[in-house]
Structure 1
Amino acid sequence: MDMLELDGRGGGGQLLRSALTLALCTGTGFTMRGIRAARPRPGLMRQHLTAVQAACAISGSEATGATLGSTDLTFVPGAVVPGDYTFALGTAGSTMLVLQTLLPAFWRAGASSRVRLEGGTHNPMAPSADFIQHAYLPALRRIGVCADVALESHGFYPAGGGAVVATIEPCPGLQVAAFGERGPLVSVEATALLSALAASIGRRELAVLGKRLGLAEDRLHLHSVRPAVGPGNAVMVRVEHAGHVELFTGYGERGLPAEKVAERLAAQVRHYLDSQACVAEHLADQLLLPMALAGGGKFTTCVASDHLLSNAALIEKFVAVEIDCEPDGPDRWRVRVAA
């Protein structure tokens, strides 16, 4: 079996998750050293360890160094076995990041699979369950992926306690897709989620978003969700163009005024709208890997982030593709994945 030597010092947990996914999909093993070395708490945290353990559980893979805090990991992939799986993070660690690690491996399996994940569903440093449902999976369907995620209960940081269930169908062949132009604007809507917190917090967030983004009252939604293990607040803006949908999320923090949360979120949305790019920053990072497995694809994005560039370099080590990123005017980049 081929084994790669990978340097994890130049990025965060995304490099490890991408390496796990690609190892399962290509049969190429790896040793990664310096995992999250530049982070305040280096090495494997709970969500990273769960991703490693889940990758082993669905495939019979072997992992050496799979312990909390470990900065070195060797992963020897096995064959993915479709089925019904449950993984509990035990913390507010992101269920969505673990799910994204497993999804491509199940696309290439010979039968459908069901995965239940328990932990955080709305975390400040990870895609939310709503982002996966309303932005990530719809984009992947254009590549030929057939998968759905159902949110059973919300799990906010830091308590967690949420649950999601994903169903994944095998994909006999992925398609090369282009996300170049987003088309005319169809709608912009904002939603504030609250668990065990005063409704006034959400109303203040929505008032700012309505003003900054020019949204009418019927485009502002306040939802109180079933109380989670702990209190929580997330505010989201869904931007739909004729050819693409994006979801932006901000999170309430202790000591941070609701107005500030909404101002930050509005600035992200305005930057995206003003850029004329099709794909926003976070989805851009996440499209590279499925496009590489499809053998090609392209998109425009408003930010060529360090995450995107480091992820591209890692993907090229596993898959015979070239990933180019070139500026295309103010706040717009063209990214191309080619075999």
Structure 2
Amino acid sequence: MIQIDGSFHEGGGQILRTALGLSALTKQPFEITNIRKNRPKPGLRYQHLSCVKAVAELCNGSYEGAEVSSTAVKFYPRNIKSRTLSVDIGTAGSITLLLQSLIVPVIFGDKKFRIKITGGPDSPFSPPSDYFAYVLIPHLKKFCDVIDYKVIKRGFIHKGGGKTELFVKLKFPVSNYSSFEEFTTELQKNTATKINLANQGKLLQIKGSSIASNDLQKAEVAERQAKAAKMALTKLNVPINISTNYSDSLSTGSVITLWAVFSDSDEVSQINPIILGSNSLGERGKRAEDVGKETALQLLNEINSKAPVDKHLADQLLPFLALTTGQAKVSEITPHCLTNIYTIEKFLGKCFEVDKENKIIKSA
């Protein structure tokens, strides 16, 4: 059984999420101890427990020790089968973080999946749903015949209640191969799956979405966030299109997500898109203009890094880089990155070369 130290490096929930996904895909059981040891409230929270249960259902697996505040879990995967999976986190816990535990086995598992989740589409300390849809998913399209993610209902901090749906029809289901090694060999020799993100290229445009709950419409929060962001980005001299919308939700809140689209040729690559993202949530007592401006400044920092992968996308791409071939130059090698490398190599063996000076991560 694979042994994982949940306190390694930044010691957060990402270790558990990555381990669950790779365990389901590779059919290797694992035991994780010291879960979230470095956090103010160590052990599993409700959102982490939802990850364990969801992945277990996906792969017909079982587990021991999965309860709130538990600092150790054993997980035993079995076979992944096509299905519709419905998950209710039960809190405003992040939907996109739950998807981090599911995305790898769903992308490579068995034929097709529909994942329906209730929780927080736009929650603190996690990628908002529009970042997931417009920054991450474009990189995953090359692995799928179809991948579609939609937000059915928005939900913000405190009450959640948001609903999303992910549909995936697979191109490389592991169930089609006689062994996991045959599966990875096929991925690695297929040039269409190679991750090659070495240069930022030319900035073509800025896109974004500014969304607020309906009770903030009179105060024009969505428009003010978008306007402030656009003003901070005008010096880039490229088209800027930030949509504004209001949504029915159980609690008051707002979110703005921006993404910068690049190309190293005349057209945006469909195989290795270059998209940098940034995002912020509104807070009580924080002006909408400040929320928009801070998001724009985050994006400017990513653009000025000259890297084709932003610091938040980097650790989310790592499992796919490990399973295929290629390289990614990132704006920052974060503790999340290093923690994810540690976890991935527990399941796949030594598979990364990290050039910290030049901020390049290669599949070994």
> Deviation of residue 222 (structure 1)?
5.1
1:189 Cα deviation after fit:
3.1
The answer to whether the aligner puts 1:337 opposite 2:335 as a matched pair is no
Displacement over 6 Å in runs of 4+ = 215-218
1:9 aligns with 2:38: no
Which range moved further: 79-88 or 14-23? 79-88
Stretches of structure 1 lacking an aligned partner (at least 5 in a row):
none
* Aligned equivalent of 1:98: 98
Task: Give CA-to-partner distance per residue, 1:83-104, whole Å, 9 cap, x none.
Answer: 1111111111111121221122
Aligned sequence identity (%): 28
Q: Retained in 2: the 8 A contact 1:206–1:220?
A: no
1:302 aligned onto 2:323:
no
Shift in alpha-carbon separation, 1:218–1:111, aligned structure 2, 3 A: closer
Q: TM-score, normalised by structure 2?
A: 0.86
Aligned to 1:187: 205
Displacement of 1:210 in angstroms is 2.3
Give yes or no for contact 2:222–2:245 (8 Å, CA) kept in 1.
no
Is the Cα–Cα contact under 8 Å of residues 6 and 30 in structure 1 kept in the other structure? Answer: yes
Gaps of at least 5 residues in structure 2 are 173-185, 188-192, 264-272
| CA positional deviation for 1:207 | 3.3
Q: Which moved more, 1:143-152 or 1:300-309?
A: 143-152
Which residue is equivalent to 2:113?
A: 113
> In the alignment, does 2:256 pair up with 1:235?
yes
The residue aligned with 2:18 is 18
Residues 211-245 of structure 1 show CA distances to partners (whole Å, capped at 9, x for unaligned) of: 22117898354523231111110012121112412
Q: Summarize the Cα distance change of 1:143–1:291 in structure 2 as closer, same or farther, 3 Å threshold.
A: farther
Q: C-alpha displacement at 1:22, in angstroms?
A: 0.9
Counterparts of 1:1-339 in structure 2 under 5 Å? 3-10=1-8, 11-143=11-143, 146-172=146-172, 174=187, 175-195=193-213, 196-197=215-216, 198-214=218-234, 219=240, 221=242, 223-242=244-263, 243-294=273-324, 296-327=325-356, 333-338=359-364
Q: Cα gap change, 1:143/1:326 in structure 2, threshold over 3 Å: closer, same or farther?
A: farther
The count of corresponding residues between Structure 1 and Structure 2 is 332
Q: How far, CA to CA, are the matches of 1:252 and 1:15 in structure 2? A: 28
SS at match of 2:320: helix
CA RMSD between the two structures: 2.0
Q: 1:58 to 1:191 in 2, by over 3 A?
A: closer
Q: After the TM superposition, which of the residue ranges 277-286 and 128-137 deviates more from structure 2?
A: 128-137
Partner of 2:59, secondary structure, is coil
Residue identity in the other structure for 1:232: G
Q: TM-score when scaled to structure 1?
A: 0.92
3-state SS of the aligned residue for 1:276?
A: coil
CA shift for structure 1 position 143: 4.8
